Amino acid sequence: MASAGLVGITMILHTADVLHAFAIMEKEDVFKKTPCPAFLMYENAAYLADMSFELPCNCKPEQVPSVVWYFQKSLGSHQSRVLTDLDGTLIVDSSSIKVESDMLRRFSIRMFSLIVFRVQVEDSGHYICGTKRGDFFYGYDVDVQPSKGIDVAFADSNQHPQDDHYETQFTVSTIFWDWTKCDRCDVRGEQRRIGLCYVKSSYLLRRYRTTTAEVASCGSRSIPKEFQSVIRHRKPEVVIRSCMRPCGKKKASQKGEASISDVISKLGEKPWLPDVPLQFHKQPLGSGVIIACPGARPEHAVAWDKDSARLYFTRYLTGVNRSMRVFIDHGNHLHIRFAQLSDRGTYYCWREGQMVAGFRLSVVYESRRRRRLDDPEALYAVKVIAVGYVLITVVFAAIHVVRCCLYAFRCTAME
């Protein structure tokens, strides 16, 4: 039995090797048809912060078995950073990648392509595909635009995105992606449309290649520095609107289960609950909670519910209200600041129009919990105390200045 199992494992590994080799052969056929340019060009690409994407090495000589990716902050810089090991074999588990992770941990090479996880604004720059000897084949001009402070418009309230800004030598506008799927089904849902900042001008540097002629993203290095004083104030945008779509036909067994649960619910027994994986979380009273939807990325259509209540973007999207304690950020994470007893319940996550997971949150009181300076509530308390101290100091100083002025005025009047 052991030998038979060993033979089976050997056959599986051999099949995987054959498929991998076949994929490499297909990729090499593409390289035969795509010659590298004699002069290195940079293809412009724009993304929103926290997104993950792939940069393919679109050309390389046939005799090169593996590639190395380099990063340069600015064109012509002598400081280039190697993003992976020289053999291109660094493996990254995307589930363990966090925003604060080291830059090298958020990059990986797969089949000559560079995979970028949760890109940040400081990752903007030039990405070059080449060899460990320093031969360059293909380059990208990556512009990562910030998600903080993004301009939000709600189409249901007749709100409109930012207007185009016209200058003599260029025009600044927003180019929108397609609408996402409706984030819920059988109930009222919402759709998002992300828009990034772009510039149209005939003065762009010719070394940069763009999808549309004379149009580049606002953070592109192809834009002259003289334009930046106007462009830097332009923000990315997101437009949100309501939508409604059916969940589709259910199987007969599921219909039967639903009807039985309806009967039980009417009899006062346990009501129907969504059939999704459920996780249990216990949080101390006053602590901060951040919940991520499994498998979701910033560009996905994601929605959150608490028990039977819908957490719509019109009320819970970050930035709608400055004093928000519960909100959803632009990376689709659910935030709860200073957890209260009323936050207890089950939070359900929708991804691309389907409910995929549930989180049972219980808030407990811990009387002996030690506070640390890096706790969100401790930082908030320090900030409030500091602001109060500054205000008291300003009022105290202002009162003494006024008294001095009045005293000086009386002395002058008596003379």
> Which of the four pLDDT bands, split at 50, 70 and 90, describes residue 175?
very high
Quick one: which of 346, 270, 335 has its CA closest to 305?
Answer: 346
Q: How far apart are CA 79 and CA 180, in angstroms?
A: 39
Instruction: Look at residue 214 in the predicted model and tell me its pLDDT.
Output: 92
pLDDT tens track for 191-243: 999 999 999 999 999 889 888 899 999 999 999 999 988 898 899 999 999 99
CA 82/CA 84 separation, integer angstroms:
6
pTM of the predicted structure, to 2 decimals: 0.69
Report residue 142's pLDDT band, with 50, 70 and 90 as the boundaries: very high
Distance of CA 139 to the CA centre of its chain: 24
Q: Where are the domains of the chain?
A: 24-145, 151-243, 277-364, 375-406
Give the pair of three-digit tokens for residue 270.
């346990």
81, 217, 201: which is closest to 144 by C-alpha?
217
134: left (phi over 0), alpha (psi -120 to 50) or beta: left
Least confident window among 22-36, 109-123, 332-346: 22-36
Does 400 have pLDDT greater than 80?
A: yes
Domains 24-145 and 277-364 share a fold: yes
Provide the CATH number for the domain formed by 277-364 in this structure: 2.60.40.10
223-to-74, 227, 264 alpha-carbon distances in Å: 13, 7, 65
Do the beta carbons of residue 138 and residue 129 sit within 8 Å? yes
* pLDDT score, position 414: 61
Q: What's the rounded mean pLDDT across residues 290-302?
A: 87
For range 163-167, the mean pLDDT: 93
CA distances from 182 to 190, 333, 335, 398 (A): 6, 18, 22, 56
Q: According to the CATH classification, is domain 24-145 in 2.60.40.10?
A: yes
Q: How confident is the model at residue 134 (pLDDT cuts 50, 70, 90)?
A: confident
